[in-house]
Structure 1
Amino acid sequence: MITINMKTIKKVILLFGGFTLLLSSCVEDDSVALPAAPENPKLDLTQYTRADAGVMMQGFYWDVEPRGEWYNVLNTKVADWANSGINRVWLPAPGKGASGGFSMGYDPSDYFDVGEFDQQGTIKTRFGSRAELENLIQNFHANNIEVIADIVMGHNSGGGLQANPFRGGEEVYSLFDENNGNASGKFNRNFNHFHPNEIHNADPQALFFAETDLCHDQPYVQDWLWERDDSVGEFYKSLGFDGWRFDYVKSFDPKWVKAWNDKIGGFSVGENFDGNEQVLKDWVDASGSPAFDFAMFYRLDETLDRAKDLSALGNEGNMLRKLDPANAVTFVANHDTEKDENPDNRISYANKLLAYAYMLTHDGYPTIFYSDYENEAFKPQLKKLIQIYNSIATGAIEIIEANENEYIMKRAGNGDNPGLILYMNISDKATQYDISTNWVNAKIVDYADNSRFTPTTDANGNVTIYAPGKSYTIWSLGK
């Protein structure tokens, strides 16, 4: 029991999950007894672990530190990520970049140098040595986590100058050999392997490094990237990589992703940086690969930050996950959005957990950003949300309400799995909503721990649910 002195206190304000209860009293006794906090009313969610569950971790942020030690840093995270329900980790592009020890991998020079050749001013990549990479992958595998490599096959950097006759003799950095940024001696390249060349003029959107935009129509390029037994893809698979994240897929035809996957195999996801859900769906259909759901990302940014109106979350078909949930890889932040100074290209810190609550209760395959998960202000709640996704975030989705301040969604569950109800509230004040559930005469609990109320449904499954201001609750069956 809890006792409070009432001699001088006439009014006591109690806060329960964001709701205010005002008690007035004229009691002159020394104390008044209040009920103790209830025991944990939640069910053990491990009994509902889904076979199709799993969450991917983006295992890096822009300009990771310390340079040359990132693989070793990640090795200290493996057990915790595995215990939290992570089943895949996306690692940065492993090859040596033109900027050497400063490279984040997006300026690929030598695909086969993963930290063992002395070139571009370093032996290690920014992330570590080949031995450290292989050790990290083995550790992930020992903890039942697949490892995804970032594949940058649209453009190259760091080669030597040579005249390109297809550019009127202009000198461009298109010579890659043992003395020019390709110490491995594998996949040596020259001007004819970039655009324009004798067989192909340009890719659709070669916005970066146009002079060294790789031409995948060249059989030599196809052979070295994925067709040969000692290709880039086969080499990365031999290191232990289980799948692929294709960088900036707008810069080459989606059929090349399909060709890679047909030959190399494994999970894949494409970065088609576009907020139009139909553009994403068309790319998925053409490539046969899942894609990051930039449409969902921008809808969340729009509703939570710009419009401050959740109504659009109720619209049909405005995200890839609504059109094709099996091929939608959802996310709230990544290395690009978090370094973008334009606030319209990132979800604000204040609304991050609301966005994660949406993502980790809906369908699609969710990705957690390293810097968010390893932020101690977010980590406890993200661990809860990951467990919720991996257990009771299942069954048909029904949108109950989507207005300026509230978004309420119900997952029907299946079999013995009870499903859940998400209640998002972006107003300043606590709100409540009368809802019809699938649970009859049952106590329900907020598994996000943002409300301590434990209401009981009636004989028809009706109940009032609650959400604190600028927060969310996730309701399901209690004990």
Structure 2
Amino acid sequence: MAQRTLLQFFHWYYPTGGGLWNDVAQEAQRLADLGISDVWLPPACKGASGGLSVGYDSYDLFDLGEFDQKGSIATKYGDRAALERATTALRDVGLRVIHDVVFNHKIGADETEPVSVRRANPDDRTQLDDQIINAKAWTRFSFPGRGGQYSRFVWDARCFTGIDHIEEPEEDGVFRIVNEYGEGEWHDEVDDELGNYDYLMGADVEFRNHAVYEELKFWGRWLADQVACDGFRLDAAKHIPAWFFRDWVGHMRETIKQDLFVVAEYWHPDKASLQRYLDQVDKQLMLFDVALCHRFHDASLAGDGFDLRTLFDETLVAHSPGHAVTLVGNHDTQPLQALEAPVADWFKPLAYALILIREQGIPCIFHPDLYGASYVDNGGDGNEHHIEIAPVACLPRLIEARRRFAHGSQTDLFDDPHCIAVVRHGTNDHPGVILVLSNGITFEKRVSLGREHAGAAFRDFLGHIEGEVFADEEGNVEVASHAGSVSLWVRSDCL
């Protein structure tokens, strides 16, 4: 696969008001010039909270900000016309458009209907009560504001496996809907957390219903007909049966284009779990390297107590590099979110340098690390918190360095617990680079480049260290990194 750099162009607290699609269009050229190749957009479909929805409370897949539903026409990010302009602007400058797909659940039903349910033990969903409860539930989605345009499909209780609320009698919990699918059991090929992690929230989609299965395939084809589409990010994959995405991704490639980029969010820090899922989907897609993201978090908190030689141990990118999307953070790990595991500010440049300069994996940039973010929300302690995320000052230079210098064969010099280096040796057409970083004291590292570099001068592309260093007659050069910092050493005649 050609060199790619993915940008997540949103975060959980991106300002409301419908401006994001316009921002994408305005930034398209700058991103292309910088070296971004793919832009991951937030969910474009109408959520249950309308114009305030981040997009993961999925309501109507066929409303891209076009219909008066849930209190607004536009989504949080803008209306359909603005979305079309944004995706066109990205394509016009050669960037690929990656859409967020939220299939696991639906929220904000239009009507209640009679259902029969069995209580599930919330701590072990495989334990279901024998008693059947007859009640009412919000499980009918008829989308009256859309009036059947694009799709006349109506979702009802037969389209869902479970819910978290019933009425008449009123009760909250986890309930398995009694229907003709799965012989009363949850889906297989899902994560085994809580016994069976099929159920997450809202009305959980029943993928064994053939009508549902076909509707979701139709929606994927429809979306690609409406707006520019070069790939998908699949939400909540650990809660969706692997056999469904195995078939759905294959169908999308057959009907849209074979080279679709697909990455799934299977949020599990265990590398073996990630590899097992890849096997289940016949390795048709990539996964975010959650294990590496957690390693970055741990290393940033431990400071010089962390052995940098072990940084990639038990990570997906170390074992399945062709299926790993590497990241430093995302909308779920940012402060005050459910999977909060932020990487400390001092370590972010080091982490980004590693995923951008090394050849293994496709790096993903998180919007606040490029643009910054400021927001207020309540934390787990019940108190209000004002969060400021400063942009990583050297991140634009690191992205540029990936485009210009991250070429050729690679040598990892992971030979010291507090200072490691990565050498990209370049090609006939592109120069290489030496990455060196330290989590402790200022450190120098001797690197052997070969006699073709004898006497060559090298300079820190990031400007963290001033001046030049020179290779000796054998092509050996001493390069350095300041304490808790990173430097990129490039031949001066290539700058």
User: Is the 1:149–1:245 contact (alpha carbons within 8 Å) kept by the matching residues of 2?
Assistant: yes
- Higher mean alpha-carbon deviation, 304-313 vs 163-172, is at 304-313
Report whether the alignment pairs 1:162 with 2:113: yes
Structure 2 residue aligned with 1:60, among 10, 20, 41? 10
| Structure-to-structure mapping, 1:15-414, within 5 angstroms | 52-159=2-109, 160-167=111-118, 168-179=133-144, 184=149, 186-195=152-161, 196=177, 197-200=179-182, 201-203=185-187, 204=190, 205-209=197-201, 212-226=203-217, 231-238=218-225, 239-265=227-253, 266-287=260-281, 288-306=284-302, 308-314=304-310, 317-340=313-336, 345-362=341-358, 363-375=360-372, 378=391, 381-414=394-427
Amino acid in structure 2 at the alignment position of 1:162:
E
Deviates more, 1:435-444 or 1:247-256: 435-444
Note the C-alpha offset of 1:349.
2.2
State the alpha-carbon separation in 2 of the partners of residues 166 and 343 from structure 1.
Answer: 30
| C-alpha separation in 1, matches of 2:410 and 2:75 | 44
In structure 2, runs of 5+ residues without a counterpart are 119-132, 162-176, 191-196, 254-259, 374-389
State the 1:382 CA deviation: 1.4
Instruction: Kindly state the Cα deviation for residue 75 of structure 1 after the two structures are TM-superposed.
Output: 1.9
Q: CA deviation at 1:180?
A: 8.8
SS at match of 2:480: strand
- Work out whether residues 51 and 75 of structure 2, in 8 Å CA contact, stay in contact via their aligned partners in 1: yes
Match of 1:472 in 2: 486
Whole-Å Cα distance in 1 between the matches of residues 485 and 338 of structure 2? 25
- The structure whose RCO (Cα within 8 Å, separation 6+) is larger is 1
Residue 454 of structure 2 is matched in structure 1 by 440
SS in 2 for 1:301: helix
- Please report how far the alpha carbon of residue 296 of structure 1 lies from its aligned counterpart in structure 2 after TM superposition: 1.3
CA apart distance, 1:320: 1.2
Aligned equivalents of 2:268, 2:220: Cα separation in 1: 26
1:199 to 1:342, Cα distance in 2 relative to 1, 3 A: closer
Using the TM superposition, name which of 174-183 and 271-280 deviates more.
174-183
Give the counterpart letter for 1:291 in structure 2: L
Letter in 2 for 1:421: I
Greater shift in the superposed pair: 400-409 or 284-293: 400-409
Name the counterpart of 2:432: 419
Q: Distance in 2 between matches of 1:173 and 1:180?
A: 17
> For residues 51 and 337 of structure 2, what CA distance do their matches in structure 1 show?
25
- Decide which moves more: 147-156 or 195-204: 195-204
Residue 40 (structure 1) aligns with: none
The separation in 2 between residues aligned to 1:248 and 1:291, in whole angstroms, is 12
- Please state how far the C-alpha of 1:105 moved relative to its aligned partner: 0.8
What is the CA-CA distance between 1:208 and the residue it aligns to?
A: 1.8
1:315, 1:375 → 2: CA distance? 26
Instruction: State how far apart, in whole Å, the 2-side matches of 1:399 and 1:309 are.
Output: 21
CA apart distance, 1:478: 2.3
> Which residue number corresponds to residue 460 of structure 1?
474
Rounded Cα–Cα distance in structure 1 between residues aligned with 2:233 and 2:135: 33
User: Which residue of 2 is the match for residue 449 of structure 1?
Assistant: 463
Counterpart CA distance in 2 for 1:107 and 1:308 is: 41
TM-score, scaled to structure 1: 0.82
Letter in 2 for 1:405: H
Structure 1 residue 440: deviation in Å? 2.7
Amino acid across the alignment from 1:105:
G
**TM-score calculated relative to the size of structure 2:** 0.80
Q: Residue 147 of structure 1: CA displacement?
A: 0.8
Shift in alpha-carbon separation, 1:293–1:283, aligned structure 2, 3 A: same
* Distance in structure 2 (CA, Å) of the matches to 1:206 and 1:308: 40
Q: Which amino acid aligns with 2:267?
A: F
The match for 2:167 is none
Cα distance, 1:397 vs structure 2: 3.3
Which piece of structure 1 moves more, 437-446 or 365-374? 437-446
Secondary structure of residue in 2 paired with 1:77: helix
> Structure 2: how far apart are the matches of 1:93 and 1:182?
22
Paired residue type of 1:202: W
CA contact (8 A) 1:245 1:268 kept: yes
1:242 Cα shift? 1.7
Q: Which one has a bigger Cα radius of gyration?
A: 1
CA distance in 2 between partners of 1:213 and 1:464 (Å)? 58
Deviation at 1:310? 4.4
Contact persistence 1:110–1:183 (CA under 8 A) = no
Offset of residue 446 of structure 1: 1.7
1:174/1:191 contact within 8 Å kept: yes
Instruction: Tell me the alpha carbon deviations over residues 296-349 of structure 1, each in whole angstroms, 9 at most, x when there is no partner.
Output: 111111122236444254466521111122211111111111134689711012
Q: Deviations over 1:258-309 (max 9, x none)?
A: 2122111221100011111222222223222011111111111112223644
Q: Distance in 2 between matches of 1:419 and 1:278?
A: 33
What fraction of aligned residue pairs are identical, expressed as a percent? 26
Shift of 1:249: 0.3
**What is the match of residue 10 of structure 1?**
none
1:430 aligns with 2:442: yes
Q: Using a 3 Å threshold, how does the CA distance of structure 1 residues 342 and 451 change in structure 2: closer, same or farther?
A: farther
Determine the structure 2 residue equivalent to 1:41: none
> What SS does the aligned partner of 1:334 have?
coil
Asked whether the 8 Å contact 1:353–1:378 carries over to 2, the reply is: no
Cα 1:80–1:213, aligned 2, differ >3 Å: closer, same or farther?
Answer: same
